[in-house]
Amino acid sequence: MSLEKQSLTTMQQSHTSIFKKHKKLFLSLFASLLLVSAVVAIVAGVNSNKNNDDNSSHTILKTACSTTRYPEYCVSALTSVPGATANLATQKDVIEASLNLTTLAVEKNYFAVKKLIAKTKNLTKREKCALHDCLETIDETLDELHEAIEDLKEYPLKKTLVQHADDLKTLMSSAITNQETCLDGFSHDSADKVVRDALLAGQIHVEKMCSNALAMITNLTDTDIAMEKMKMAKTTGIRKLKEEMENDEIRWPEWLSAGDRRLLQSSSVTPNVVVAADGSGNFKTVSAAVAAAPSKSTSRYVIRIKAGVYRENVDVPKSKTNIMFLGDGRKNTIITASRNVVDGSTTFNSATVAAVGQGFLARGVTFQNTAGPSKHQAVALRVGADLSAFYDCDMLAYQDTLYVHSNRQFYINCLIAGTVDFIFGNAAAVLQDCDIHARRPNSGQKNMLTAQGRTDPNQNTGIVIQKCRIGATSDLRPVQSSFPTYLGRPWKEYSRTVVMQSAISDVIVPAGWHEWTGTFALNTLYYGEYQNSGAGAGTSRRVTWKGFKVITSATEAGGFTPGNFIAGGSWLRGTTFPFSLGL
């Protein structure tokens, strides 16, 4: 064997010996390397999946937010909160996450108002009143958001698509309105602006969040309803949903008990309590009867108000549901007071009667504010009660008589009289077969029947005057040429008012409608007239604004009927009041 071969053999034996000696160590190191490689691979996979999930959630978020009025605000509001955008799989998830964040922002605003009340010195009477109005509207907003979240969780299974859509849009429309109402309370004096500015950012933030949620809800529900129609068209050849086919049928609302139905079907309504100023009833004041009523009642609670004049301010809070005021006739049962802005109230708080609890009804009652035309805003009746209705009632005041604040409302065979903006607010309100009369205002003033306050194009709100009689009271008629009277003016940017199938007297000037200020809202409002009659109904000399139109389509006009505009087919029969669902 050569020296080279011998050296090689020796080296091989040496390596073999070393491998045998450290075999366990080598195997252990190899296993460790495999384990490390596996862990790295798993971590890389998890990170990859997480990144994919994050990318997917962000895509869903951006897609959902792209349907809103403030898409960048929508995305940034959600991504700025850690964990808020985790696990977003659908548009519905984005809406729910947005509503949850909005709720937190509303709670923050509530405590900001409480802090202002506690720490701000030298507040005026109206500023204190306005801050308390804010607490009330913020509290209502919290309830609306919580209800919307619960309703959304059950979408689209608990109700029909149309019911879900209408309920969700109503809740979010009202939430937006509440933010505006809070700020509007600080618009009477220049000194109010200091307090208003302290609240402005928080209120605007919530309003934008609510607007974005409403836009996403509108997109979601409109798309689903359209798909359902297409599906039905393929299977039956009919493009109508169940609600549309049953629109001429009258159905009982789901929340009405069988016992309540029997009560309301009877020719007379048996009262739970009686109010009589002379002491012959259970209570002497209406307020006392309301205070004694059960909270969150699911059955109708009837308060009979005997003939008399009740000089009081009455509040039916949100906790008092399904209350009914049953009067002895509008000429006999009168609730009257005189709160007003000039004497230090806010418009919101000036109401003689404020009805907020869901399902409020009134029959045969006069609601009156006697402050007079020189006291400016002085409300006779403010209504924020969802599914509320008024039959054979009078609403009498001057400026701002009837405040249709929010939610779904119906008025039948009522008299509403006033001067400036005397039907105003941002509810979805239909006035049917009513007398709407302008009164004599102060010298130099103009009469405005309506001042509708829609601020967002997705809100399902507006004032509809259908089959009514528009005229003048006896004090205005002889001098009406000195006081121009208009159908309305745009209080807010997307103001919406429709007058249809009504008799309009010559009290209404040929132009029909009036500006709020300059060109504000003239392109974004929706003012429509359909099949009206009378000396003041001619449209040839009406305003030429982009937002005004003479409606010629029965289909378009049909969208503003009680059956469609306030979902009347599902609840109006439960009121026992007369009504017409269609044109």
User: Catalytic residue positions?
Assistant: 400, 421
How many other C-beta atoms are found inside a 10 Å radius of the C-beta of residue 471? 22
Q: Are 257 and 251 in contact (CB under 8 A)?
A: no
Q: Are 561 and 583 in contact (CB under 8 A)?
A: yes
Q: How many CA atoms lie within 13 A of 174 on its CB side?
A: 33
368 Cα distance to chain centroid: 26
Q: Are 418 and 373 in contact (CB under 8 A)?
A: no
Angle CA(152)–CA(153)–CA(159) in degrees, nearest 5? Answer: 65
Tell the residue number behind the tokens 């949903």, with chain if given.
241
- DSSP helix/strand/coil, 97: helix
How many other C-beta atoms are found inside a 10 Å radius of the C-beta of residue 188? 20
Angle CA(377)–CA(536)–CA(445) in degrees, nearest 5? Answer: 30
- CA neighbor of 373 nearest in space, from 448, 439, 472, 450: 439
d(CA 102, CA 209): 6
Q: How do strand 548-550 and strand 273-275 relate by DSSP bridges?
A: unpaired
In the chain, the largest separation of any two C-alpha atoms, in whole Å, equals: 141
Q: Are 411 and 432 in contact (CB under 8 A)?
A: yes
H or E element in which residue 79 lies: helix 71-79
Whole-angstrom CA distances from 119 to 76, 125, 139 are: 32, 15, 21
Q: Are 68 and 212 in contact (CB under 8 A)?
A: yes
How many other C-beta atoms are found inside a 10 Å radius of the C-beta of residue 386? 25
Q: Record the tokens describing residue 287, joined without a space.
A: 């307020």
Q: Amino acid letter at 293?
A: A
d(CA 95, CA 92): 5
